[in-house]
């Protein structure tokens, strides 16, 4: 704290010095000023008048250029000193904005020393701390080892969703199929190739278990990969086009989606819409639209209407917006998803967003049967909100994640939770920790 106060005082002094015009007198400037003052104060008759030189075209009143230069040498010294002074001012400004620590935000003095220390350990000017970077590296190593061991996460109950989430976790660190560490490039290429094996001719990603959840995450992954890498562009674009068509044509009349796709893609027929699955499909469509791909605007507007109808008076979101399940109240996991997707759709300041953010702030420390899913969406919503609420949340969630990381680099939800796949939980934890990097296009503010 003392160092921060001292730095702030230095900045205030620099500002006053520059704005008031006062500055230290540089070496050589004092003597130049003295010479100029003596020249002005000396009697005119005592001054040495230049001798005209007709050969050079000069006279007493208009001396030749060389004589004029010799006569004005004190002023020339003063000019040089002024230039040096200007350089000093520029140096002060450079120190002000680049070298010295930034000023604390309003109200920072009221924060505890422990909170300030926690802030420094999580994110430093958009960069991740060494502890967070180490946790991320160990988590990525776990994903790569598990991918090689199972041959593309085939042992998972939800291979489509798991491959997509693992790919998103690798992309969130800035890796692509063309750039990054060799092991991450190879893992991403294997992940994409494995995922595309599950896409049917009509575009649906089918593994019998992930259903529309897996399809939504797979579409989101391919959209982010397509936006970050030119590798296999035409193949990815065609796969995306078919996947988008499945989402658009599987939307229900109320604007939402459920576990099954439309019958033409192998689904079982009309169902009630599910808020969580609706968010998953809408996020995928939004990512595709950001790339310039064709997405039906009416589908987006209908999805937004469904999500707004699912919001409860306390700011959270219910499981379904219609039917018997409408009576079920809000819960943290799906509420985080609801606020996240409203931000993604461009709602930044409505009453729905404000009440949703208040709900998340009040409940993100609560226990949830789907903790990794919940914080996957909560982190994105609060990151888009920014400000102190995001900083406080990230300090808390990053500390909790690092404390609960297993020795093999994975994260596991525990026997009392509903999330049983360590690849899914590890991938979601990695996406949360890497959010401040803003390397996924959908994470950009």
pLDDT tens-digit readout, 240-280: 999 999 999 999 999 999 999 999 999 987 788 999 999 99
Report the Cα 185 to chain-centroid distance in Å. 22
Residues pairing with 124 in the sheet? 127
Report whether pLDDT(169) > 60.
yes
Strands (DSSP E) contained in 188-276 are none
First vs last C-alpha separation in the chain: 31
Instruction: Find the mean pLDDT for residues 90-100.
Output: 49
pLDDT(52) > 80: no
Q: Which pLDDT value is given to residue 155?
A: 78
pLDDT of residue 445: 76
What is the CATH class of 132-443?
mainly alpha
Q: List Cβ neighbours of 85 (8 Å cut-off, separation of 6 or more).
A: 23, 26, 29
3-state secondary structure at position 118: helix
Rounded to whole angstroms, how far apart are CA atoms 441 and 435? Answer: 11
CA angle, 247 then 253 then 256, to 5° = 50
Residue 157: what pLDDT?
A: 86
Q: Which residues contact 167 (CB under 8 A, 6 or more apart)?
A: 188, 191, 192, 195, 221, 225
- Whether 32 has a pLDDT exceeding 90, the answer reads no
Which pLDDT does position 103 carry in this prediction?
Answer: 35
Band the pLDDT of 91: cuts 50, 70, 90.
Answer: low
| Per-residue model confidence (pLDDT) at position 429 | 98
- Per-residue CA distances from 146 to 135, 187, 350, 351 (Å): 17, 11, 43, 44
Q: Is the pLDDT of residue 5 over 90?
A: no
Residue 268, pLDDT score: 83
How many separate helices (H) and strands (E) can be counted in the chain? 17, 2
So what's the pLDDT on residue 65?
Answer: 45
Q: Is the pLDDT of residue 131 over 70?
A: yes
Residue 127 forms beta bridges with which residues?
A: 124
Residue 194 has pLDDT above 60, yes or no: yes
**Per-residue model confidence as pLDDT tens digits over 381-430:** 999 999 999 999 999 999 999 999 999 999 998 766 789 899 999 999 99
In our burial notation (b when 16+ CB lie closer than 10 A, e otherwise), range 317-345 reads: bbbbbeeeeeeeebbbbbbbbbbbbbbbb
Q: Of 396, 427, 434, which is closest to residue 409 (Cα–Cα)?
A: 427
**What's the average model confidence in pLDDT over 343-372?**
95
Average pLDDT in the chain: 79
| Percent helix, strand and coil across the chain, each to the nearest 5 | 65, 0, 35
Helical residues (DSSP H) of 151-210, grouped into ranges: 159-171, 182-197
pLDDT at residue 233 tops 60: yes
Closest CA to 284 of 337, 234, 320: 337
pTM to 2 decimals?
Answer: 0.72
Instruction: Please list the alpha-helical segments (H only) found in 21-156.
Output: 29-41, 65-71, 73-94, 113-122, 130-150
Binned at pLDDT 50, 70 and 90, residue 339 comes out as very high
Show the tokens assigned to 160: 């489509």
Digit-coded pLDDT (tens) for 275-319 = 999 999 999 999 999 989 999 999 999 999 999 999 999 999 998
| Residue 329 pLDDT | 82
Determine the pLDDT at residue 106. 32
């Amino acid at each position: 704290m003392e160092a921060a106060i001292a730095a702030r005082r230095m900045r205030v002094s620099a500002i006053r010095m520059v704005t008031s015009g006062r500055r230290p007198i540089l070496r050589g400037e004092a003597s130049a000023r003295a010479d100029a003052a003596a020249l002005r104060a000396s009697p005119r008759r005592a001054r040495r008048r230049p001798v005209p030189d007709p050969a050079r075209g000069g006279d007493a009143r208009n001396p030749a250029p060389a004589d004029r230069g010799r006569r004005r040498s004190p002023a020339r010294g003063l000019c040089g000193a002024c230039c040096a002074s200007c350089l000093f001012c520029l140096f002060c400004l450079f120190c002000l904005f680049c070298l010295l620590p930034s000023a604390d935000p309003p109200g920072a003095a009221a924060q505890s020393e422990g909170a300030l220390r926690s802030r420094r350990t999580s994110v430093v000017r958009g960069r991740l701390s060494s502890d967070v970077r180490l946790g991320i590296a160990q988590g990525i190593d776990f994903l790569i080892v598990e991918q090689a061991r199972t041959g593309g996460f085939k042992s998972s109950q939800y291979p489509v969703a798991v491959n997509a989430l693992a790919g998103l976790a690798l992309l969130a660190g800035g890796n692509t199929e063309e750039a990054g560490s060799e092991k991450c490039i190879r893992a991403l290429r294997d992940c994409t190739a494995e995922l595309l094996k599950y896409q049917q001719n009509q575009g649906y990603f089918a593994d019998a278990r992930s259903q529309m959840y897996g399809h939504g995450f797979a579409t989101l992954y391919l959209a982010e990969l397509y936006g970050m890498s030119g590798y296999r562009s035409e193949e990815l674009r065609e796969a995306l086009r078919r996947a988008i068509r499945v989402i658009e044509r599987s939307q229900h009349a109320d604007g939402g989606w459920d576990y099954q796709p439309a019958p033409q893609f192998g689904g079982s027929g009309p169902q009630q819409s599910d808020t969580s699955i609706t968010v998953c499909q809408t996020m995928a469509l939004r990512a595709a639209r950001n790339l310039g791909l064709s997405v039906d605007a009416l589908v987006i507007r209908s999805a937004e209407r469904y999500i707004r109808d699912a919001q409860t008076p306390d700011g959270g979101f219910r499981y379904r917006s219609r039917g018997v399940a409408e009576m079920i109240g809000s819960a943290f996991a799906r509420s985080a998803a609801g606020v996240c997707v409203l931000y993604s759709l461009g709602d930044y300041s409505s009453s729905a967003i404000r009440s949703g953010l208040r709900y998340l702030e009040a409940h993100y420390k609560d226990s949830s049967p789907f903790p990794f899913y919940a914080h996957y969406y909560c982190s994105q919503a609060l990151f888009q909100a920014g400000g102190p609420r995001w900083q406080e949340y990230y300090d808390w969630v990053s500390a909790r994640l690092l404390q609960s990381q297993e020795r093999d680099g994975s994260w596991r939800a525990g026997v009392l939770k509903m999330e049983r796949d360590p690849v899914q939980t590890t991938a979601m934890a990695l996406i949360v920790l890497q959010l401040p990097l803003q390397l996924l296009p959908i994470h950009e503010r």
